[in-house]
A and B are shown apart, each in its own frame.
Chain A
Amino acid sequence: MSDLVLLLATGLGLGALYFIAASGLSLIYGLMGVLNFAHGAFMTAGAYAAWLTMGALPTAWPVAGRLLVGIAAGVCVGALVGLVVEVVLIRPLYRHHIQQVLVTVGLSLAGVAAAQGIWGADPRAVDKPVWMSGTTDVLGARLPNDRFVYVLVAGLLFAGLLALLHLTRLGLVIRAGVENRTMVEALGINVHRTFTVVFALGGAAAGLAGVLYSQYAGAVSPAQGGSLLIFAFIVVVIGGMGSLTGTAVAAVVVGLVQQLANYYAASGVGDLSVVLLLALVLLLRPTSLKGATA
Chain B
Amino acid sequence: MTDRNSSPRDGAGTAPVLELDDVHVRYGGSHILQGVSFEVPATGVTALLGRNGVGKTTTLKAVIGLAPRSGRILLQGSEIQTTSTAKIVRGGIGYVPEDREVFGGLTVDENLRLVAPDQGVEAPVVGRLFPDLVARRGQRAGTLSGGQQQMVSLARVLLRDNALLLIDEPTKGLAPKLVTEVADVLAEVARTTPVLLVEQNLPLVRRIADRVVVLDAGRVVHRGAAADLVADADLTRELLGVSMRREGVA
Contact = CB atoms under 8 A, between A and B. Distances in A.
B110 interface: yes
B86 A185 contact: yes
B103 A169 contact: no
Given A172-B106, A172-B110, A175-B105, A183 B97 contact: yes
Nearest to A179: B103
Contacts, number: 52
B114 interface: yes
A184 B114 contact: yes
Given A187-B89, A188-B90, A189-B114, A293 B105 contact: yes
Interface of chain A, helix or strand or loop or mixed?
helix
Interface in A158-199: 169, 172-173, 175-176, 179-180, 182-191
A196 to B, nearest CB: 14
A42 B11 CA distance: 58
Given A169-B117, A172-B110, A176-B114, A186 B85 contact: yes
Contact of B114 (A187, A293, A294): A187
Contacts of B247: none
Interface in B34-89: 64, 66, 84-86, 89
Contacts of A183: 97, 101, 103
Contacts of B66: 182, 186
Contacts of A186: 64, 66, 85, 89, 95, 97
Interface residues of B, number: 22
Contacts of B97: 183, 186
Contacts of A169: 113, 117
Contacts of A189: 86, 114
A185 B61 CA distance: 12
Interface in B132-167: 156-157, 160
A187 B113 contact: no
Nearest to A176: B103
Given A176-B114, A186-B64, A188-B160, 17 more contacts: A172-B110, A173-B114, A176-B103, A176-B106, A180-B103, A183-B101, A184-B114, A185-B84, A185-B85, A186-B66, A186-B85, A187-B89, A187-B115, A187-B157, A188-B90, A188-B115, A189-B114
Interface of B: 64, 66, 84-86, 89-90, 95, 97, 101, 103-106, 110, 113-115, 117, 156-157, 160
Q: Which 8 A-B pairs have the closest CB atoms?
A: A188-B89, A188-B90, A185-B85, A176-B103, A183-B101, A190-B86, A179-B103, A293-B105
